[in-house]
A and B are shown apart, each in its own frame.
Chain A
């Protein structure tokens, strides 16, 4: 574990209770580090466990979920062990979140002022007058014109792009050490996307560490420094961002890159991964990707999977890749 890590997650395991069946393991032994002023991309398809991982760290899981193992060290404390009361002091102050849909993440019945000052006041960080000033400044910082006036409006009175900015302002206002952004640009138009990413980059420049959950590899490349790739609840590859995209190693990462379409890539053949991700209640033994993997070698791939170092700053959960390296 490096000293510079802002958040260090080790062996996180989260299960969901089900009626009349074994609990479902949604996150299975996930580990990663986030550094100050750096962005980590968590890349994966739906059902890969990206969001459950972050919700576990933040303590905002649904009631049927249970964390059954692991640590999440943040400022010398294990977020998974400190309990809800302590976690509430961290959440919204030291760790903030930005979601895919500001319409759903914001309270439609409260003005921006109420929502932007809420964290500051609840955590007792400043007086009401100061909170208002800081909220206005945050709205201005994210490029909302006439913030003095806009702070009195409700979320629905803003356009989609402006609402996304307001949500970022809400996350920024307490100057958090860590920002978790769950698909922050998926619901906005491409021409707005880069503006949103540039705003988040501003935060990164001020030293905030960012975890960005995304399925958009172009967004990940533009914004993130490092990446972990998740599949069926596990980390399958960990690498510096550019290295992952230019030279993916785990067969799933290779498949993901081969499936991605890109402008200018019209003549490149598509190489879709056959089949679909497993139903978590029937996760294949060993490496969960092996039934779809062209390189799978039985019986070994169907019995074991461990994360192996394959190069500087690079790990892959595939023994065959480790042999290549």
Chain B
């Protein structure tokens, strides 16, 4: 189906540890459609980050398969997989940990372009500046190092880098969880803006239900490695079906009392 960008079919991931086998993801099927934002929620240990890594092809499932744009990541030759890689990018929770500390902001954004041999040095610079501007970094600060930026600005730089190769899919794993509320709001606005302007597809992982409700078109809920519910955002928040989803929603503490 051309409408499907990434599809995970009955994937299971088992980690072997000293304490025995851990079934981190247990027979989960998920699809992200083109231009869609799929929210993935769950508590710590629910398997949502493992699911993200499986869907990015960063880990291979113990059983089941993942396909990107109709091609099975598990059977694709390495060279072809490398060609697919630029089309899926990730944004992590800790921006400082994900940026190269000894590269300037612009250096960080140019690096994926260099690695994939895109354009000349001048055109890479121009592109990186454009991206920094797009995510709201003052281009006059392009030569500063990551530690000289605030957490929110570091996350903007990480997002600019993730966009450098013009991906189809952005996988965001708790991208606002380490940010203060006033900064979180700015980054959420940025994601909405990017989606509207670039037509990106998102897999958006968060334990924060309010954040997911705001950004996602559809929401999938994981608990103990299993997918317990999947629905349109509106339906899921209005009429959750699964007892675990209901429990999750009822645990939310409201700020305003209207």
Contact = CB atoms under 8 A, between A and B. Distances in A.
A263 B183 CA distance: 18
A256 interface: yes
A115 B256 CA distance: 39
Interface in B210-225: 210-211, 213-214
A218 interface: yes
B184 interface: yes
Given A45-B182, A256-B182, A272-B182, A194 B251 contact: yes
Given A260-B181, A264-B237, A193 B213 contact: no
Contacts of B251: 190-191, 193-194
Given A160-B44, A263-B237, A264-B237, A276 B214 contact: no
Nearest to A45: B180
B145 to A, nearest CB: 15
Nearest to B176: A261
Nearest to B152: A276
Given A191-B248, A261-B211, A271 B256 contact: no
A261 B214 contact: yes
Interface string B126-145: 00000000000000000000
Contacts of A194: 251, 253
Given A218-B253, A272-B189, A266 B214 contact: yes
Given A160-B44, A271-B185, A276-B153, A262 B255 contact: yes
Contacts of B123: none
Interface in A91-114: none
Interface string A210-246: 0000011111011000000000000000000010011
A25 B184 CA distance: 26
A125 interface: no
B241 interface: no
A262 B210 contact: yes
Contacts of A258: 185
A263 B210 contact: yes
A46 interface: yes
B184 A261 contact: yes
Interface string A71-104: 0000000000000000000000000000000000
A217 B247 CA distance: 20
Contacts of B184: 259, 261
B44 to A, nearest CB: 6
Interface in B92-116: none
B202 to A, nearest CB: 16
B233 A272 contact: no
B244 to A, nearest CB: 9
Interface string A253-288: 001111111111110001111001100000000000
Given A45-B182, A261-B210, A263-B237, A270 B253 contact: no
B254 A221 contact: yes
B114 to A, nearest CB: 30
B228 interface: no
B185 A270 contact: yes
A265 B180 CA distance: 19
A273 B252 contact: no
A190 to B, nearest CB: 4
B243 to A, nearest CB: 12
Given A189-B207, A266-B214, A215 B181 contact: yes
A222 B252 CA distance: 10
Contacts of A190: 43, 207, 209, 248, 251-252
Contacts of A219: 253
A259 B255 contact: no
Given A218-B253, A245-B256, A273 B182 contact: yes
Contacts of B182: 45, 255-256, 259, 272-273, 276-277
Contacts of B254: 218, 221, 262-264
Interface of B: 43-44, 150-153, 180-186, 188-189, 207-211, 213-214, 233, 237, 247-249, 251-257
19 contacts: A46-B151, A46-B180, A160-B44, A189-B207, A190-B43, A190-B252, A191-B251, A215-B180, A221-B254, A242-B257, A245-B257, A258-B185, A259-B184, A262-B254, A262-B255, A262-B256, A270-B189, A270-B214, A277-B150
Interface of A: 45-46, 160, 189-191, 193-194, 215-219, 221-222, 242, 245-246, 255-266, 270-273, 276-277
Given A218-B254, A246-B257, A263-B237, 17 more contacts: A193-B251, A219-B253, A245-B256, A246-B256, A259-B185, A260-B181, A261-B208, A261-B213, A262-B210, A262-B256, A263-B249, A264-B213, A266-B233, A270-B185, A271-B185, A272-B182, A272-B186
Name the 6 nearest CB pairs between A and B, nearest first: A218-B253, A272-B185, A259-B185, A45-B180, A189-B43, A261-B210
